[in-house]
Structure 1
Amino acid sequence: MKIRYFLIFAILPFFGFSQNLNTIIPLNGTADFEQTENAFPPQKFTRKIPVPGLIDLAEPKIDQYDLYFSGQHQPRYNWYRFRFNISKKDANKYAILKLLKSRYNTQIIFNGQDCGQYMQCNTPIDCDLTPFMKAGEENELLIRLGERAWLPKEAATGFDREKYSDIPGIWDDIFIEIGGPIKIHRALVLPNLKEKTVTIKTVLENYAKILERNMEYSEIEYEAKAFLREKKTKKIISGTAIASGKIQCQQAQKIVFNFAMDEVHSWSPEDPFLYEAVVSITSQKLFFNNYGNKESIRPSKKYAWEMSISDTKNITFGMRDFESKGKDFYLNGKRYNLFGSTLTLNRFFEDRDRAHLPWDREWVENLMINIPKSLRWNFFRVSIGLLPDFWYDLADQHGIVIQNEYLMWNLRGRPSQYKKEYTDWIWADGNHPSIIIWDAL
């Protein structure tokens, strides 16, 4: 893999003249909803439910509505139904479902086909829908949720002794990314304020299933590009780093970009200045392997994704350093006092007056930003469970620092699942400058 750096003065040279294949289908809003006593889909859906949210928000109310808040309900299967069209122009592309947080035992069925079951409740689910996608037609996505008690023994989940119920639900954003075969599966920006450097770590995923004549998976050549800019003004502050290489179908590959900055505007609660890293991947062509035979002829078949932008990610970050020395904390090299309180959203979930408030942006901004700022607070401990992603975005934008605590109290599950979920947790939340302390237990 080769990495090259170029100076740029406008956005156009970065993308060149490659066609952009990306389409986003948002599924937030309202979905059909129903419950069943067995594991099979309902014959009909009689309720509507807001997404994101928890199942008590369904209308008309679910049968055991009152019992869910005390944890005395009889377990049921919970079914969400999404119907949407996929454009004909998206035929021969790749469709990946992104479900940021969902609980419990998330089962995904797309156009009648089982796409897998997932035990994680606090980290993203990525599901390949491509084999069953119907371009130019209506598509049906069913998501079945179970109960916390049904989680497998491997599941990384603690036990909160100070709450009664665990209400299921799709409790963060859900959407479908449609694009080329190589996706930016994960991206993490690591700023170093003292050294004035930025490192971008990415994981590429090749979703294609193209076989060679020896029945091994083929490789696809790619070009990845990255640059930095100010988030608000979009002013570009770096050159473009370019990495080229090839990745085998159904495999993942890591790429690291490094940048040195001449001038740095630090992030702090008093001045929450944000930057943005823009990363793009172009799927160029199928790599031709002649297996040592110089007379081999490259196949003439062309793919719709060749020389097209396969995926793009805009990653928000802030330039800040945080460390502890003795009994003191230091932010950006200066001693810093933390004033604030604790947020226990997962306990608020069992409050029957909670309603849809945790997903009401105006309410959250008052709770987390406006009122604390009026009290001269700058800090929250997010206790025994994470938050919907937009809460962290608000903290980044307005300047609140966070101790981020995983939903783990009294260990349950297997170390292999802890490792997977904690790794995904860092990749998912690690770009937020507001998160200064990571609390795994």
Structure 2
Amino acid sequence: MAAVPGLTNQAQPAFPDVDRFDSREFIQASIREKRLPESARVETAGVPRQSRNYFWYRRSFTVPERKPVAMLRVAKAQFGTAVWLNGKKVGEHLGCFTAGYFDVTAFVNWGGENDLVIRIGAHPAALPVWAPAGTDFEKYKWTPGIYDNVSLILTGLPYVESVQVGPRLSDSSAVVETILVNLGSRPVRTKLVQQVKPWKAQVLAITLQPGERKTVQQTLPLPGAKLWTPEEPNLHWLETAVGEDTLRTRFGMREFRFDSATKRAYLNGKIYFLRGSNITLHRFFEDPLCKRHPWEEAWVRKLLVDGPKQMHWNAFRFCIGPAPEMWFDIADEAGLLVQNEFFIWNGREYFPPYQSGELITQYKEWMRDHWNHPSQAIWDASNETDSVMLREQVIPQVRKLDLSNRPWDNGYAVPMGFDDAVEDHPYLFSALMRPEGNFSMTQLERMTGAKTTNAGHPSAHAVIANEYGWLWLNRDGSPTLLTENVYERLLGKNATPRQRFELYAYNLAGLTEFWRAHRNFAGVLHFTWLTCSYPGVKTSDHWRDVEKLELEPNFADWVRESFRPLGVYINFWQPTLKAGETRNYAVMMVNDEGSTVKGALRLEFVDGPSKELSFELPAYGAHTWQLPLVSPTAAGHTMLRATARVEGRAATISRRKVQVLP
């Protein structure tokens, strides 16, 4: 038995080798790392390490009443979906990250029991090589499953195939695009009624010819509608009725964009700085502790609501792989801006032999599944990928379908739109992987926080730093495969987990302060809030207990402080000072909020000399203060601390560990 939604590696009794598959990208990375010979390279999706190509799901059901149309919807399943009903094949759907719809009207036994069989691929190679099944250089297990909801839709003729709502804040209205279908053999004359309560309904007379699929667009005035923001996530319901069919569509009145002239993000016409993290859910699927948690609402709400509020986050990137529909519903309610990334990561040198037509089909489906979610803020075509096909053939065909005209992130390719953003992954500590490489936090004192060349191309567009750090530790405090050399160079071979956790949190908080303070990024999103953690993985997250969602304490202390909307950064990283030495310290501050803040800024050595001044920062403003301060006269370890206090709110603190020398 296997749960739906869920993964086949949780089935009872268990299947042997259920998710063993060496992907093409894993093999490429292993060749590059000298772990495999060049002869291991493959042009297929990869090499299965199991004796099956498919899994089969079976269940029976009865239908309460006969309807003109019966549609089976499989929200997400991998790798590929085929459906049989009562022994007859209904159809197939190649998408692994989008909803598949199957018209089962002609196959339903309306008066008795129905036998439903759904087949999914056991691994990515079960799909044609030209269809995307997900690419990830750092993913070891590829676990199949029907990992989102399955539903049977019963309705009349005509019926509503889809509804898209595009908010227009300039006149407080919404453009609504409705697709109606008449599968019958006769023309249908009916009324299309659409209403967002308490506003007036719109009624249109509609005629559909036999077999016709018609798109209807109209504008609904919504005067005084409350806007959706992360701080106030107001939601509205649109009710659509045609004939016997009704559909409720939830949406938020909000507009999100980037601006290349200012290099800023704008929410509802106002500057908005993104602060947040990443979730690589499909890597978490391979974690031994994943279990049923991604489908437990309480667990997901704690992950997406409680934790981000504590960390002062307003944004997430759902990295290389989609989340179930429930996750977006919760993000809408929590007030999160999501950078939603299609599951493609292929770098700069190789792109799989995908067919552009299939990619266009699946990107359209992916957009359709998400475009009514106000949390859906950025369409992310790929991760760290420079693809001519995506840039010239796919994105231009699909982006025009979005009535909200959301911005696109184009991986490591140049952006398509004049005001699209670009991503940057400034992994400064990755230099320490190589014996000749060099980086220390002291170098930040002479850096400006500008976009790095890691993004692969020059750009004057707005930039999001949606990955940085390269200091990952497993949940037990051991280095990951990518950070073994880094920690050996920083702390030596005999460092303890406690020492590593402390160093990780200290440096990650400092990097966060640094990227925010220089205001060269429209968003700062750390990597990563959730992923897998077990021996041999390349990245990890920060959970002391991922099932209870208890954070590693050092991360909770240091990194939470670095993400406060009122940001403070001491531009000082020297490990030692001379006793009694006087010097000027640059303290940088940023205000992410839309109103002026006033308060007191205090720079001090703990239990030592201090300096205080009054500050005032305008909305979205930034400023640097130079504060002279004498170091303690007694030798020993101390803390240099800058504290910004504003009446009625918690203080923001920036801290530096220093040793005072005699």
State the TM-score, normalized to the length of structure 2. 0.51
Partner in structure 1 of residue 158 of structure 2: 182
Q: Which protein, 1 or 2, shows the higher relative CO under an 8 Å CA cutoff with sep ≥ 6?
A: 1
1:67 and 1:405, CA in 2 relative to 1: closer, same or farther beyond 3 A? closer
Residue 322 in structure 1 maps to residue 256 in structure 2 = yes
| Structure 1 counterpart of 2:195, one-letter code | F
The structure that is strand-richer by fraction is: 1
Q: Distance in 1 between matches of 2:218 and 2:193?
A: 9
Q: Distance in 2 between matches of 1:145 and 1:165?
A: 16
Q: Distance in 1 between matches of 2:19 and 2:263?
A: 47
| Structure 2 counterpart of 1:172, one-letter code | D
Give the one of 112, 116, 129 matched to 1:137. Answer: 112
Partner in structure 1 of residue 4 of structure 2: 51
Q: Distance in 2 between matches of 1:397 and 1:105?
A: 31
Equivalent residues of 2:19, 2:144 under 8 A apart: no
Deviation at 1:68, TM superposition (A): 6.8
Residue 263 in structure 1 maps to residue 244 in structure 2 = no
SS of equivalent residue, structure 2 residue 246: strand
Partner in structure 2 of residue 103 of structure 1: 78
Residue identity over aligned pairs, in percent, reads 33
Equivalent residues of 1:193, 1:320 under 8 A apart: yes
Deviation at 1:249, TM superposition (A): 3.0
SS of equivalent residue, structure 1 residue 131: helix
| Structure 2 counterpart of 1:107, one-letter code | A
Deviation at 1:206, TM superposition (A): 2.1
Partner in structure 2 of residue 419 of structure 1: 360
Residue 342 in structure 1 maps to residue 278 in structure 2 = yes
Equivalent residues of 1:100, 1:125 under 8 A apart: yes
**Residues 251-304 of structure 1, C-alpha deviations (whole Å, 9 max, x = no match):** 31101121122212111010001011111111xxxxxxxxxxxxxxxxxxxxxx
Structure 2 residue ranges without an equivalent (≥5): 24-47, 383-662
Partner in structure 2 of residue 298 of structure 1: none
Partner in structure 2 of residue 75 of structure 1: 52
Deviation at 1:67, TM superposition (A): 4.4
Partner in structure 1 of residue 148 of structure 2: 172
Residue 121 in structure 1 maps to residue 93 in structure 2 = no
Q: Distance in 2 between matches of 1:68 and 1:59?
A: 21
Q: Distance in 2 between matches of 1:314 and 1:66?
A: 38
Is the deviation greater in 369-378 or in 410-419? 410-419
Deviation at 1:207, TM superposition (A): 2.7
Q: Distance in 2 between matches of 1:262 and 1:329?
A: 26
Partner in structure 2 of residue 232 of structure 1: none
| Structure 2 counterpart of 1:81, one-letter code | R
After the TM superposition, list the runs of 4 or more consecutive aligned residues in structure 1 that deviate by more than 4 angstroms.
65-71
Give the one of 196, 203, 207 matched to 1:228. Answer: 196
Deviation at 1:317, TM superposition (A): 0.6
SS of equivalent residue, structure 2 residue 2: strand
SS of equivalent residue, structure 1 residue 225: strand
Q: Distance in 2 between matches of 1:276 and 1:255?
A: 19
Partner in structure 1 of residue 314 of structure 2: 378
Q: Distance in 1 between matches of 2:127 and 2:187?
A: 37
Partner in structure 1 of residue 235 of structure 2: 274
| Structure 1 counterpart of 2:188, one-letter code | I
Structure 1 residue ranges without an equivalent (≥5): 1-47, 211-217, 230-235, 283-308
Is the deviation greater in 162-171 or in 409-418? 409-418
| Structure 2 counterpart of 1:96, one-letter code | M
| Structure 2 counterpart of 1:52, one-letter code | P
Give the one of 287, 290, 293 matched to 1:357. Answer: 293
Give the one of 102, 106, 125 matched to 1:149. Answer: 125
**Residues 407-432 of structure 1, C-alpha deviations (whole Å, 9 max, x = no match):** 12234311111111111222210001
Partner in structure 1 of residue 325 of structure 2: 389
Equivalent residues of 1:95, 1:128 under 8 A apart: yes
Residue 313 in structure 1 maps to residue 288 in structure 2 = no
Partner in structure 1 of residue 187 of structure 2: 219
Q: Distance in 2 between matches of 1:337 and 1:261?
A: 28
Equivalent residues of 2:19, 2:141 under 8 A apart: no
**Residues 191-243 of structure 1, C-alpha deviations (whole Å, 9 max, x = no match):** 012331101111112233x2xxxxxxx322232110112xxxxxx2x211112
| Structure 2 counterpart of 1:375, one-letter code | M
Alignment RMSD: 1.8
Q: Distance in 1 between matches of 2:339 and 2:19?
A: 33
The structure that is helix-richer by fraction is: 2
SS of equivalent residue, structure 1 residue 50: coil
Partner in structure 2 of residue 207 of structure 1: 183
Residue 60 in structure 1 maps to residue 13 in structure 2 = yes
1:176 and 1:66, CA in 2 relative to 1: closer, same or farther beyond 3 A? closer
Equivalent residues of 1:69, 1:351 under 8 A apart: no
State the TM-score, normalized to the length of structure 1. 0.76
Partner in structure 1 of residue 390 of structure 2: none
**Residues 126-184 of structure 1, C-alpha deviations (whole Å, 9 max, x = no match):** 11111111112111110011131021133134421111222111111110011113221
SS of equivalent residue, structure 1 residue 73: coil
**Residues 295-339 of structure 1, C-alpha deviations (whole Å, 9 max, x = no match):** xxxxxxxxxxxxxx1x21111111111121232111112211111
Equivalent residues of 2:79, 2:133 under 8 A apart: no
Residue 195 in structure 1 maps to residue 148 in structure 2 = no
| Structure 1 counterpart of 2:87, one-letter code | G
Equivalent residues of 2:134, 2:321 under 8 A apart: no
SS of equivalent residue, structure 2 residue 223: coil
Bigger Cα Rg: 2
Equivalent residues of 1:194, 1:321 under 8 A apart: no
Deviation at 1:65, TM superposition (A): 4.4
Q: Distance in 1 between matches of 2:149 and 2:90?
A: 19
Count residues with an aligned counterpart. Answer: 350
